[in-house]
Structures are given as structure tokens and as C-alpha cells.
Amino acid sequence: MKKVLIIRWCEIHLKGKNRNYFEKLLEDNIRHSIKEIPCKFVKIQGRYLLRDFDEFNEDVLIQKLLKISGIHTISVANSVPSTMEDISNIAVEICKYKKGTFKVETNRADKKFPIHSTDCSREIGAKILSSNHDLTVDVHHPETIVNIDIRESGRTLVFTDFIKGMGGMPTGSAGKGILMLSGGIDSPVAGYMIAKRGMRLEAIHFHSYPYTGELAKEKVITLGKMIGEYSNGLTLHIVKFTEIQEAIHEKCPEEYMITMMRRFMMRIAEIIAKNVGAQTIITGESLGQVASQTIESITSSNSVVKMPVLRPLIAFDKLDIIEISEKIGTFETSILPYEDCCTVFLPKYPIIKPKLENVEKIEKALDVDVLIAKALENVETIKL
């Protein structure tokens, strides 16, 4: 008996003539993720197998696979010779300490196997029942399903559980986007959500030293590393935003501070996106969550860029976002009490529904092009 990991993909099954392209991307992403762990990668019909790995690396492999977009489910299976004796013995062993109801399901991929699927399930189920009197058969709503997958290789995979993967599409299948990464809860979740759809990510962060310190910067770097685990790595561009904020604070009405900041951020994000070959900007905005996320504020910030802006969290409640941040492991880092640039010069009463004509009129007090050029002179780029 040998342990193997079964990897099943998701929406790739819906693809037509270019399905091989998506399968190859997923295969490459898996190989890249597990390259430091000795094991053998095998492709069989409709799925992949990892085998010949040290049992101590089983959990490590699973955790890596759970962060690869495009994987639907994973199963830890026992690989045995395709004989009824070997299959029955491992099925009985798997159910040795189980209680409640069960059924056996057989997939006879090897049509040369002499016993048909239904007969195989019946015979193995009978042996399980005779060895464990705490189990009863329920073919409609069983608590445990013993899966028997008889392969053409002469080996049979026997397993009971399906571990839900990340889902979505393989990284690299949907182009590249630049994520506006703050130190908060929302933007890392937005990055995860869009990475799940197969987009490669780079990120931009606006740092306002000395108003925001090195700990705030390190927090964002940590979040970038976490999101990078879901997108085959991530490059982070840190932009010094202090001079822009000071100019806005000095020359614009206080209530327009956030509105003006967002317009500068979008312009800079678009420039960097074009420089790195990205096709879109990604934000963590949720409609109406804060003053800068009303439809009027979003319209104001959108008006300064031509590139499409993706907002994967636009209809999410805060509790929904927190739930995902806890799931992907970013929540505890996101709530560390280090301020980001959006809290600098924060107005007491920010404008909620800015009119675009008023915004553009107020912005004329600023030398927009010069301020952006200076901010782009010393961008710090970190590969995570």
C-alpha cells in the first residue's frame, strides 16, 4: 500500500479546444509550488497524482496545493494492486473505527477489470459490514463513502474524503493586474479573490513616512507575501506618498482630502501597471463601506484612469470580507495597529458624495503632473 494525493481541477472541464492550455498552466503551477519536496507528479485522465513522497511531507504538500488556484478537490488515497483481495483489505482497514452509515462507490476506469462496478461495491461493502458491526448501509445519505477508483495502470485508489481546494482558474490564465494593497483587511482579500480567477498579481502600496513608520511598511510586506502564496509570488511596489498628501492638505479643502488622495493613487497605479505589463487595477473597495467608496467617490477616482478597475468585493458585507480574511490567514496581520497613509490628515467630516465638477475645480490648485513625477522617482520594488 502506498499513499498518493489525488488532485482534481475545476472549471477547466468546461473549456473546449484550448483546454490543454489551461491544464498545462495548472500542471506548471503545481510543479513550481512543490518543487522543493521530493515526490513524483503523474497525470492521469481528468486528474493529477502526487506519489512517492515521504509521509512526513503529506501535510506540507496538501497545504501548498490548497493555495493553488484551479484545484477543485484533493484526496489522500491508498494505492493498492487491482485485486479484489487488496482492495477489500484496505477498504476494511479504512472503515475499522468508523461508525454510522456508509456506502461503497466504484469507478471502473480499467474496463478489463473482471468485476463490474456494482458487483465490486456490493462485495466490498459486505466485507466492511462483516468486519465492523458499528456500520450500516445507507446508499442515499451515507455518513461515509468509500471510493474505489480502479485505474488502467493496474493500481486502485481507495479513499473516503474530499478536501476542498481554492477553485477558480490557474494562475496566469487571466492576464496580470496591479493590486492596490493597503494594510487593512479588504485589499488582501480582493487580491486573493482575483488571484482565484487566474490573474497574476503585482501590488502597489503608498507609504507616508514619517507619518507612517517602518512597522506599517513591514506589515504590508507581510501581507504581500501571504497573498503571493496564492498567486505564484508577488512583486510589491512601494510609493512615497508624503509630498502628495502634504500638498493636498495645504491647498485643498479638508473634506476633499481622501477624494484627492484616491485620484492620485489611481493615476500612479495606472502608470506602474502599464510599466509592468498589467492590464487592470484591483482595489478592495466595497460599495458604501466608507466615504471614499460611495458611487460618487468611486466615479471621481475612476475618472482619472482609462484602464479597467476591478473591485471583487464591491457587493460584500464587512463580515463576509472578514470571514475570507480569516480563511486565508491575513486577518491577524491586517488588524495590527499600524497606521497606513489613508489615516494621515484624516478629515473629521469627509465628503460622501463629491460632484466631479467640484473635484476637478479644486484639483487645479495642485501641480498634479509634477507631484506624480516626484512620487515615481524613488519607487521601491520588492520581489516577495
Nearest-angstrom CA–CA distance, 170 and 60: 20
Q: Checking DSSP bridges between strand 380-383 and strand 235-240, what pairing results, if any?
A: antiparallel
Nearest-angstrom CA–CA distance, 130 and 55: 30
Q: Which residue has better confidence, 214 or 56? A: 56
| DSSP-derived secondary structure letter, 33 | H
pLDDT at 333: 95
Q: Domain residues of the chain, as ranges?
A: 2-164, 176-383
pLDDT tier for residue 291 given thresholds of 50, 70 and 90: confident
Phi-psi region of 187 (alpha: psi -120 to 50; beta: other; left: phi over 0): alpha
pLDDT at residue 342 greater than cutoff 80: no
Q: Which three cell numbers stand for residue 24?
A: 498545462
* R_g over Cα of the chain: 27
Phi first, then psi, for residue 135 (nearest 5°) are: -110, 145
For domain 2-164, the CATH class is alpha beta
pLDDT tier for residue 247 given thresholds of 50, 70 and 90: very high
**Tens digits of per-residue pLDDT, 370-384?**
999 999 998 999 999
Q: What is the CATH number of domain 176-383?
A: 3.40.50.620
pLDDT at 340: 67
Q: Strand order of the sheet with strand 309-310?
A: 309-310, 280-282, 176-180, 200-207, 235-240, 380-383
Which helix (H) or strand (E) segment is 7 a member of?
Answer: strand 2-9
Nearest-angstrom CA–CA distance, 130 and 128: 6
Q: Checking DSSP bridges between strand 200-207 and strand 235-240, what pairing results, if any?
A: parallel
| DSSP-derived secondary structure letter, 105 | E
Q: Which three cell numbers stand for residue 21?
A: 492550455
- CB distance 264 to 244 below 8 Å: yes
State whether residue 206 is helix, strand or coil.
strand
pLDDT at 343: 65
Nearest-angstrom CA–CA distance, 51 and 57: 11
Q: Which three cell numbers stand for residue 368?
A: 498634479
- CB distance 3 to 77 below 8 Å: yes
Nearest-angstrom CA–CA distance, 331 and 382: 22
Half-sphere exposure of 63 (CA within 13 A, CB side): 10
Tell me what percent of the residues of the chain surpass a pLDDT of 90.
Answer: 86
- CB distance 148 to 124 below 8 Å: yes
The DSSP annotation for 52-94 comes to S--GGGHHHHHHHHTTSTTEEEEEEEEEEESSHHHHHHHHHHH
pLDDT tier for residue 331 given thresholds of 50, 70 and 90: very high
| Mean pLDDT along residues 4-22 | 89
Question: Measured at the alpha carbon of residue 294, what is the angle toward residues 332 and 365, in degrees to the nearest 5?
Answer: 105
Q: At what angle do helices 186-196 and 214-228 cross, to 10 degrees?
A: 20
**Tens digits of per-residue pLDDT, 119-156?**
999 999 999 999 999 999 999 999 999 999 999 999 99
Which helix (H) or strand (E) segment is 123 a member of?
Answer: helix 117-131
Nearest-angstrom CA–CA distance, 300 and 230: 31
pLDDT at 346: 75
- CB distance 43 to 27 below 8 Å: yes
| Mean pLDDT along residues 349-364 | 94
pLDDT tier for residue 348 given thresholds of 50, 70 and 90: confident
**Tens digits of per-residue pLDDT, 35-51?**
999 999 999 888 899 99
pLDDT at 12: 86
| DSSP-derived secondary structure letter, 114 | S
The amino acid present at 42, given as its one-letter code, is: V
**Tens digits of per-residue pLDDT, 105-128?**
999 999 999 999 999 999 999 999
